[in-house]
Chain A
Amino acid sequence: MITLTIAGVAAAARTTAARRASLPLAVAAAIAAPWVLDAYTISLGSYAIVLGLVAVSALLLTDVAGLPTLGQGAYLAIGGYTAATLSRTVTSNGPLQLLAATAAAATAAAAVGVFATRTRGTTFLLTTVAVGVLTQAVASRATSITGGDAGRSVDPITIWPATAPVTRHGYLYLYALACALAVGGALALLLRSRFGLTLRGIAAAEARVQANGVATGRYVLLVYVIAAAVAGAAGAVLIAVRHTIGPSDGGFIVSALALLAALVTTRTMTGAMLGAAVIVAVRDLVAPALLAGHANILLGALFLAAAAGRSIARRARLAADPSTGGFP
């Protein structure tokens, strides 16, 4: 039932009219949320924005560039620890932390990407899993920077120099939302450019794009770096809204949930954000009520449902495709 609903929603949102209407509606609903919901639910909403940004990062690699990834949590961790270190030593200014986190994640990705983007497809997916989990291991061992398994706690952020720190959940949520909209807007512009089109071309047929004289390797490395920068921004937002980060915040499960959020609905940035909201709601609102302490069972079921929904949708697409004559 759930899978059919998800497939149905996905099919509906593919039509342009629905897609055009869905973005302003979703943004308006997201902005109105703090006036409607209680503080706990809003703090979950803030985390959903963090996960949503990681999901956008995963979407950019997996769907736009055709490079499936399960390791974007690594760059959330790098961004988050950068923001935390900055907060403890230099400045409590949130936007500055955001910029530094983005830059740090991008730099790390440029170094790792030189190797990782030599691979494609399944090998790339395997590599990203390993990079993600190794980063988590490093985070729990490099105690002097990360605080080890206990993690790092920081003071609340300030938005503007010499102003009071922001502590109320509603304002933090709106700050997170503003960050997400800024990142999303920048990405939307980028994807409409020649660069975005080339990426989609590479995802569809890399050899042909190469035959057109494009050095595809540079594009792939660049999109890997940009995706990491988005996840790094998510790390800074995490520090802003939750004031704490530990190794598991960028772990395998987070990367996997981000991929799930990216794929579960319409495979658009709005869809990835909505997917993240659904996942956080299932994990932190539905699961405690239904299966106290065993949220992973529900999340596992969500993964299975998403795969089933995607398979059903693919089969429906094949059956509707006249070029195959309905024969899969």
Chain B
Amino acid sequence: MAGDLIVALDGVAFGLLLYCVAAGLSLSLGVAGVFQLSHGALYLAGACLAWWFAAQGTWLGFVVALLVGLATGAAAGGGLAELLRHVPDHLDQALVTIGAGLILVEVLTSGYGAQARTVLPPPGLDGAVTLLGRAYPVYRLTIIAVAAVLSAALHLTVERSRPGVLVRAVAADPRHVATLGVEPRRVHLAVMMAGGALAVFAGVLGAPILGPAPGLDTTVLTLSLIIIVAGGLGSMRGALLAALIVGQVHTSVAVAWPTAAPFLLAALLLVGLAWRTHHHLITARVA
């Protein structure tokens, strides 16, 4: 029983980490209208940064990796926003981001050598505490704390702050926002930068439990997609719930019954789709 709870805690850490990635993806799609399929590649970039700067677990390297990650993530998101401004069709955006993602993953893979790498947590966070009579890695608790703070900050910013109101207003009616003297393009740019930064940051943060490895990008992208589809496009609470469930499936279920994990994720996706009963007449804005 205690063992199960410990594994469940792992699931919370992974779920919250995924939520940070998925929230960026959801904002890009919902607010900037950008279909971002290179999000998994950005997460992998974060994991690679952590491996390059802080594989041996030093505070300096870790902080540098986090800062470089935030900067490159924001730059990548911003660059993509500018590029895709000229590509309004979602299908074309999918082609662009798949292409960019393929190239980025290929470059990163030659960098880390196409094998699973381990990254040590920074000193002080590499130990274990006793939890329910068992040793539990401090770093996983750190991830839970940081990701929870990040998720809460994100939620508060979008739901309660003035910039958040603007972001939601741009998602609802960009032309109306333009009449208020705010350029929707700038809001799009800001949202895409934040989304990119979140993905790379989460990659660095998660590297000590999920280091760079082949296929990491597709895993993270798929799990994020499941989270935003099952949670309901544009619903942050739904996404959080879905992220926590996906986290549990990926850890608790994977330990207890490894074969079932992908089936359960598929079931979660389908239940999410059925539950939200998208009516046939609601045709999306995709050509």
Contacts and interface: CB of A to CB of B under 8 A. Distances in A.
Nearest to B91: A68
A210 B91 contact: no
Interface of A is mostly: helix
Interface string B87-108: 1011111111011111101110
Given A70-B94, A118-B278, A296 B100 contact: no
A210 B283 CA distance: 12
Interface stretch (B43-51, B144-152, B218-226): B218-226
B86 A311 contact: yes
A129 B225 contact: yes
A22 interface: no
Contacts of B285: 121-122
B180 interface: no
How many of chain A's residues touch chain B, expressed as a range? 35 or more
Interface residues of B, number: 51
A207 B284 CA distance: 12
B256 to A, nearest CB: 14
Contacts of B103: 296-297, 300-301
Contact of B102 (A125, A206, A251, A300): A300
B98 A129 contact: no
Interface in A255-311: 256, 259-260, 263, 294, 296-297, 299-304, 306-307, 310-311
B2 interface: no
Given A115-B270, A122-B29, A131-B269, A263 B110 contact: no
B273 A141 contact: no
A66 B233 CA distance: 20
B273 A127 contact: yes
A112 B270 contact: yes
A120 B265 contact: no
A101 interface: no
Contact of B280 (A116, A130, A210, A263): A210
Contact of A125 (B94, B259, B274): B94
Contact of A134 (B29, B222, B233): B222
Given A125-B90, A127-B229, A300-B106, A68 B286 contact: yes
A123 B106 CA distance: 28
B97 to A, nearest CB: 9
Contacts of A220: 280
A220 B229 CA distance: 20
A305 to B, nearest CB: 8
A319 interface: no
Given A123-B229, A304-B96, A206 B106 contact: no
B1 interface: no
Contacts of B107: 297
A134 B91 contact: no
Contacts of A119: 273, 278
Nearest to B99: A303
Contacts of B261: 137, 141
A259 B90 CA distance: 13
B95 A123 contact: no
B206 to A, nearest CB: 19
Interface hub of A115, A134, A220, A251 (most chain B Cβ within 10 A): A134
Contacts of A216: 280
B262 interface: yes
A68 B273 contact: no
Interface string B205-242: 00000000000001001100110110001000000000
Contact of B274 (A118, A129, A252): A118
A206 B286 CA distance: 13
A206 B95 contact: no
Nearest to A306: B95
A62 interface: yes
Contacts of B228: 126
Contacts of A251: 218
A120 B283 contact: yes
Interface hub of A126, A129, A263, A294 (most chain B Cβ within 10 A): A126
Contact of A122 (B92, B222, B266, B284): B284
A121 B90 contact: yes
A254 interface: no
Given A129-B222, A138-B263, A303 B35 contact: no
B96 A296 contact: no
A48 interface: no
Nearest to A140: B262
A132 to B, nearest CB: 9
A123 to B, nearest CB: 6
B277 interface: yes
Interface of B: 29, 35, 37, 86-87, 89-96, 98-103, 105-107, 110, 218, 221-222, 225-226, 228-229, 233, 258-259, 261-263, 265-266, 269-270, 273-274, 277-278, 280-286
12 contacts: A115-B273, A120-B280, A130-B226, A137-B261, A137-B262, A259-B94, A297-B102, A303-B98, A304-B95, A304-B96, A306-B99, A311-B89
Interface of A: 62, 68, 70, 112, 115-116, 118-127, 129-131, 133-134, 137-138, 141-142, 206-207, 210, 216-217, 220, 251-253, 256, 259-260, 263, 294, 296-297, 299-304, 306-307, 310-311, 314
Given A300-B102, A301-B103, 6 more contacts: A123-B284, A141-B258, A263-B91, A263-B95, A304-B96, A307-B99
